[in-house]
């Protein structure tokens, strides 16, 4: 089929979206009203899951609700084409606190000028609606496009997706798809859509050192071993002053294919974006004076190790005089594709033991590997071309996001190549008060999914 | 005058105390009922100060209430002898929290078996009552003893006596005395009264390092300078692994006379007491394996530097992934007699600057020098002899307490030699829930003050 068919489906779909846009704002309003905060327990998420399940069923989706031990996940399927696209989202949201910094009720969608404001509009309810809208717009063409669309909408992403692996492994055959779309994507200040082709993994450790039975009056400080000093000393063994991690083998095992892909992709990333971040944070320079392509290489081509938290003794206002009994540090490590977090945990533990830290407790708060998709995958090409058309600019394709997400469950466990799409923008205030999206990005986000799906069809070609 | 006069006054006084003991329990009950928590504001302390002022006035004390900018202090004076004793106490108490760990109302004196339980019974209201009782018992002999007794009862000791210096300096002539008794003293597990001849000073610093404008998602960790590492590194420059402080000149300026006195006194201290502390804390050994006389020397003959608190980033439960913008450490330094905390602050700041820490903020939460009295002072001999008679054992005379107290205001500013006395014991749970004293120690504590005053009189000698 030729260009005219592509244009015909595109124009009809876009026209459908314009005509029905108010319905999708209304659907987003409904979704935002559910207090589906996973960390608040199962009531809010359960009600939201039931509502969403009805929303999909009423459109003709075949829906089932799956339990992996935590929040339910919704599996919905529509179309019977030979090429399958798996669309991943989550209906749970971050807690709204601090409430006093919101200018409106976080669970009531506020439309103000060109902004839609409320908890979850960017992360991730706005994207759920955008994808439902895209499928609605294409519904009468699904057969022609020879597509089958699957929705996997989980309910505990914001607490680290602890049972998503169970759901995916229990339904591995259902997950099997030719391509997939990950939860989010953001429009940068330069107007380009950012598409990360993967996410780093995570190994979140808390290392605790207990030296005595209780805190003791610091009059005895000359005699009582203080764990704060030992934790401090330990940190100096983990990284050198240039930011290099000193744990032997820490940088090993990164997939060479990923390095080659990443090295190529970051040539096309404008390092000026990082300069803007640096300025906003009030920094004279980055770690080790990194800049330009070197900063990008550090960010996207190396695993990282960071102190997220450090504590010992009295940390409140003013003074209290004690020798603390306990000191602890929270460390997040982000492995790259190829690296196994279990192995990093092992070499880390071994290194600490060799340094003489025998009496420490290591708590693993979270652990999963990285996952990524190669840029020449069909679904990636489809989304890049769609983005170029919708946003009028070639997207910013990242080899991997700087953050972590258990995308490996789709890319590695279920074997689905994944791309990005999303309704958010650089100032969406994700996880923060006054989370918002721009009306225009909401529309463009729907259109981008529509074109990605058309582009992905084997039956239609743009040229 | 001879032995018979001493014995006569002693026996009559002791008999008075026995006959009237219930009245003093009742007075303690009244005092405990006042919620004179200085950190809760001026209402509770003001009411308690008024009550105490009435209690002293009704006994014939000439009373005035002084304001130095914070809680009022009560100055009371009775007798017109040529030898003056200044008795220091405080009527404010620590907050009672955590309330759930109290077995009774902290502000209602509970008498259970041989214990008197309530906030402040040991620190310091029980001692106020004991000293009032001692003066009552000696009232008719004050002229014969040629003594003048002054009470200085402040109301903000538990928040660091921020305005006591003003009160003492504004009333310096009134403070002038031949000897003084400090607020507390405790009976050890071995039945000996502990008498510290001084208190260390304090220099409480909070060092904060701010690296960027805000916490940032730790996906950016490879690029963003993390203050936790720098604070950790800094701590390793402050002390070596043997516990020695590395700041140049830190150990300088200690009064050689104090060192000589302390060296002599600690020969008579049983190091087994420290072993008991070590065991209770579950420690295999002290810092640097210190033990016996070496541990005592470290504790009483060297200034100390301790980390009371250390913080950066997320310190709550579970995980949060950020690069913290700020890291801080709370450090308490305890100077010895002769050392000036201002100078220690100066050399500390200079040392940090030389190490390259230019961008730090140093907050001084508290600062005053040490103070001590030489053991051959009359008031000290008087209290030691009194303790030997009342407790049946030679007291444990410490050159200096391991903790800090602004005793220098009396010993150095007002020039009054000071000794100790008190109604508490090793398990008094000072500053903690279920604070208590033993009935027997309450009686012995009164008797000890009575005999200290008789011994201090120039007109009476025991032999």
| Residue showing tokens 């801080």 | B328
Alpha-helix runs per DSSP H in A217-291: 227-238, 256-265, 272-280
Confidence of residue B245 (pLDDT cuts 50, 70, 90): very high
Fold of B3-199+371-456: Aminopeptidase (3.40.630)
What distance, in Å, lies between the first and last C-alpha atoms of chain A? 9
Using one digit for the tens of pLDDT, what is the confidence trace for A356-379?
Answer: 998 899 999 989 999 999 999 999
Interface test with B, best of A159, A290, A307, A315 (most B CBs within 10 A): A307
Pair B379, B419: CB distance under 8 Å: yes
* pLDDT score recorded for residue B271: 83
Give contacts of A403 with chain B, Cβ < 8 Å. 217, 219, 321
Q: Which residue of A has its CA nearest to B158?
A: A320
* B129/chain A closest Cα distance in angstroms: 26
- Band of residue B1 on the pLDDT scale cut at 50, 70, 90: very low
If pLDDT is split at 50, 70 and 90, which confidence band does B318 have?
confident
Give the minimum alpha-carbon distance from A208 to chain B in angstroms, rounded to a whole number. 12
**For residue B362, is pLDDT > 70?**
yes
The pLDDT value given to residue B332: 95
Looking at mean pLDDT, say which of A89-103, A152-166, A270-284, B114-128 comes out highest.
B114-128
- Asked if B299 and A327 come within 8 Å (Cβ–Cβ), the reply is no
Q: pLDDT-based confidence at B319, cuts 50/70/90?
A: confident
Contact B28, B109 (CB under 8 A): yes
For residues B217 and B322, the answer to whether their CB atoms sit within 8 Å is yes
Q: Please write the tens of the pLDDT for every residue from B411-451.
A: 999 999 999 999 999 999 998 899 999 999 999 999 999 99
CB of A307 within 8 A of CB of A235? yes
Question: What does the pLDDT average to over B370-399?
Answer: 97
- Give the rounded distance of the alpha carbon of B438 from its chain centre: 20
Q: What tokens appear for B205 in the block?
A: 């610093």
Residue A25: C-alpha distances to residues A10, A60, A206, A241 (Å): 21, 21, 42, 50
The rounded distance, in Å, linking the Cα atoms of A127 and A184 is 7
Identify the pLDDT of residue A439: 98
The minimum CA-CA distance between A128 and chain B, rounded to whole Å, is 24
In this complex, do A287 and B223 lie within 8 Å of one another by their Cβ atoms?
A: yes
Is residue B344 within 8 A of residue B248, CB to CB? The reply is no
Q: From the CB of residue A159, how many other CB atoms can be counted at a distance below 10 Å?
A: 18
Taking CB atoms and an 8 Å limit, are B287 and A224 in contact across chains? yes
Given this model, what pLDDT does residue B306 score? Answer: 97
> What does the pLDDT read at residue B272?
84
Best CATH choice for the domain A202-254+302-368 from the list 3.30.70.360, 2.60.120.10, 3.90.245.10, 3.30.300.30: 3.30.70.360
> What's the complex ipTM?
0.89
Q: Is there a contact between A457 and A79 (Cβ–Cβ < 8 Å)? A: no
A307 interaction partners in chain B (CB closer than 8 Å): 226, 228-229, 312-313, 324
Asked whether the beta carbons of residue A236 and residue B233 sit closer than 8 angstroms, the reply is yes
Average of pLDDT values for A93-103?
A: 90
Residue A352 has pLDDT above 90, yes or no: yes
State CA B272 to chain mean position distance.
23
Secondary element (H or E) of residue B382 = helix B378-391
Please name the residue of chain B whose CA is at the shortest distance from the CA of residue A240. B229
User: Per-residue pLDDT tens for B58-73?
Assistant: 999 999 999 999 999 9
Q: What percent of chain B has pLDDT over 70?
A: 99
Distance CA A91, CA A74 (A): 9
- Two structure tokens written together for B365: 């939460």
Average per-residue pLDDT for chain B? 95
Q: Is the dihedral of CA B111, B114, B118, B121 positive or negative?
A: positive
Residue B321: predicted pLDDT? 87
How far apart (Å, rounded) are the C-alpha atoms in residues B146 and B178? 12
Q: Between the CA of residue A193 and those of A190, A386, A455, what are the distances in Å? A: 9, 10, 17
What digits encode the pLDDT tens for the residues A65-83? Answer: 999 999 999 999 999 999 9
Report percent pLDDT > 90 for chain B: 86
- Indicate yes or no: CB of B313 within 8 angstroms of CB of A309: yes
Distance CA B144, CA B79 (A): 10
pLDDT in tens, B103-140: 999 999 999 999 999 999 999 999 999 999 999 999 99
Q: Average of pLDDT values for A157-183?
A: 94
User: Does residue A272 surpass a pLDDT of 90?
Assistant: no
Of the candidates B212, B226, B334, the beta carbon closest to that of A282 is on B212
**Rounded distance, CA B376 to CA A420, Å?**
83
Identity of the residue in A298, A319, A404 whose CB atom sits nearest the CB atom of B223: A298
CB A409 within 8 A of CB A371: yes
Phi, psi of A143 (to 5 degrees): -65, -45
Which one of B160, B212, B214, B229 makes the best mutation probe of the A interface by having the most chain A beta carbons within 10 Å?
Answer: B229
Question: B402 near B455, Cβ under 8 Å?
Answer: no
The alpha carbon of residue A277 is apart from the nearest alpha carbon of chain B, in Å, by 10
Q: What ranges do the domains of chain A cover? A: 3-199+371-456, 202-254+302-368
Q: What is the pLDDT of residue A1?
A: 46
Q: Please choose, from the candidates A175, A229, A195, the residue with its C-alpha nearest in 3D space to the C-alpha of residue A412.
A: A175
CA distance B429 to B36: 18
Helices and strands in chain A: count of H runs, count of E runs: 14, 22
What confidence score (pLDDT) does residue B160 get?
83
DSSP state of A71: S
Taking the CB of residue B260, how many other CB atoms lie within 10 A of it?
A: 12
CA–CA distance, A40 with A71 (Å, rounded to integer): 11
With residue A419 as reference, give the H or E element that holds it: strand A418-419
pTM, entire model: 0.89
Chain B residues inside the 8 Å CB shell of A223: 274, 278, 286-287, 290, 295, 298-299
Nearest to B304 among A222, A312, A319 (CB): A222
Compare all CA atoms of chain A with the CA of B367 and give the residue at the minimum distance.
Answer: A319
Lookup: tokens for B124: 């310091």
> Which pLDDT tens digit goes with each residue over A20-48?
999 999 999 999 999 999 989 899 999 99
Tens-digit pLDDT profile for residues B212-232: 988 888 999 999 999 999 999
B225 vs A280, A287, A312: nearest CB: A287
- What is the 8-class DSSP label of residue A141? G
- Residue A401: phi and psi, rounded to 5, are -75, 155
| 3-state secondary structure (DSSP) of residue A287 | helix
Do the Cβ atoms of A351 and A248 come closer than 8 Å? yes
pLDDT of residue B461 exceeding 80, the answer is: no
Chain A residues near residue B365 by CB distance under 8 angstroms = 318-319
- Give residue B463's pLDDT band: very low, low, confident or very high (50, 70, 90): low
Is the pLDDT at B378 greater than 80? The verdict is yes
Cis peptide bond N-terminal to A204, omega within 30: no
Q: Where are the beta strands (DSSP E) in B128-176?
A: 147-154
Q: What is the pLDDT of residue A462?
A: 63
- Give contacts of B235 with chain A, Cβ < 8 Å: 228-229, 232-233
Query: Mutate which of A221, A273, A282, A300 to disrupt the B interface (most B C-beta within 10 Å)?
Result: A221
Beta carbons within 10 angstroms of residue B229's beta carbon? 25
Q: A190-232, pLDDT tens digit by residue?
A: 999 999 999 999 999 999 999 998 888 899 999 999 999 999 9
Q: Based on the number of CB atoms within 10 Å of its own CB, is B255 exposed (0-12), middle (13-18) or buried (19 or more)? A: middle
Return d(Cα B429, Cα A18) in angstroms, integer: 73
CB contact under 8 A, B332 and A223: no
Write down the pLDDT at residue A359.
84
Average pLDDT of chain A, as a whole number: 95
pLDDT in tens, A393-417: 999 999 999 989 999 999 999 999 9
């Amino acid at each position: 089929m030729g260009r005219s068919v592509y244009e015909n489906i595109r124009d009809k779909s876009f026209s459908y979206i314009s005509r029905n846009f108010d319905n999708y704002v209304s659907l987003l309003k409904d979704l935002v009203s559910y207090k589906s905060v996973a960390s608040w327990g199962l009531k809010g998420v359960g009600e939201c899951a039931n509502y969403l399940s009805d929303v999909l069923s009423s459109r003709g989706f075949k829906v089932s609700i799956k339990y992996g031990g935590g929040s339910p996940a919704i599996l919905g399927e529509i179309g019977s084409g030979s090429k399958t696209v798996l669309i991943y989202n989550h209906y749970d949201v971050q807690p709204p606190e601090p409430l006093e910094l919101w200018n409106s009720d976080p669970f009531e969608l506020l439309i103000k000028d060109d902004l839609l404001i409320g908890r979850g509009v960017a992360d991730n309810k706005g994207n759920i609606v955008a994808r439902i809208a895209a499928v609605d717009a294409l519904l009468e063409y699904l057969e022609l496009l020879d597509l089958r669309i699957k929705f996997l909408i989980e309910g505990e992403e914001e607490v680290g997706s602890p049972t998503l692996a169970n759901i995916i492994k229990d339904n591995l055959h259902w997950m099997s798809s030719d391509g997939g779309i990950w939860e989010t994507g953001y429009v940068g200040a330069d107007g380009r859509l950012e598409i990360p082709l993967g996410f780093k993994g995570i190994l979140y450790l808390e290392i605790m050192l207990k030296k005595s039975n209780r805190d003791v009056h610091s009059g005895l400080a000359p005699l009582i071993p203080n764990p704060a000093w030992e934790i401090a000393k330990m940190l100096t063994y983990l990284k050198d002053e240039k930011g290099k991690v000193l744990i032997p083998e820490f940088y090993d095992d990164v997939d060479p294919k990923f390095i080659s892909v990443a090295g190529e992709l970051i040539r096309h990333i404008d390092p000026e974006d990082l300069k803007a971040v640096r300025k906003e944070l009030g920094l004279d320079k980055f770690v080790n004076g990194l800049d330009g392509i070197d900063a990008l290489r550090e960010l996207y081509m190396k695993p990282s190790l960071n102190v997220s938290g450090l504590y010992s003794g009295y940390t409140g206002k003013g003074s209290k005089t004690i020798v603390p009994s306990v000191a602890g540090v929270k460390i997040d490590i982000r492995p790259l594709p190829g690296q196994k977090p279990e192995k990093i945990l092992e070499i880390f533990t071994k290194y600490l033991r060799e340094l003489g830290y025998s009496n420490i407790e290591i708590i693993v708060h979270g652990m999963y590997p990285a996952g990524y998709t190669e840029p020449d995958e069909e679904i990636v090409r489809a989304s890049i071309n769609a983005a170029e058309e919708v946003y009028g600019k070639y997207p910013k394709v990242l080899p991997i996001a700087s953050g972590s997400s258990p995308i490996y469950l789709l890319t590695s466990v279920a074997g689905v190549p994944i791309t990005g799409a999303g309704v958010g923008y650089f100032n969406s205030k994700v996880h923060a008060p006054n989370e918002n999206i721009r009306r225009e990005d909401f529309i463009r986000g729907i259109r981008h999914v529509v074109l990605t799906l058309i582009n992905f069809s084997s039956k239609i070609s743009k040229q």
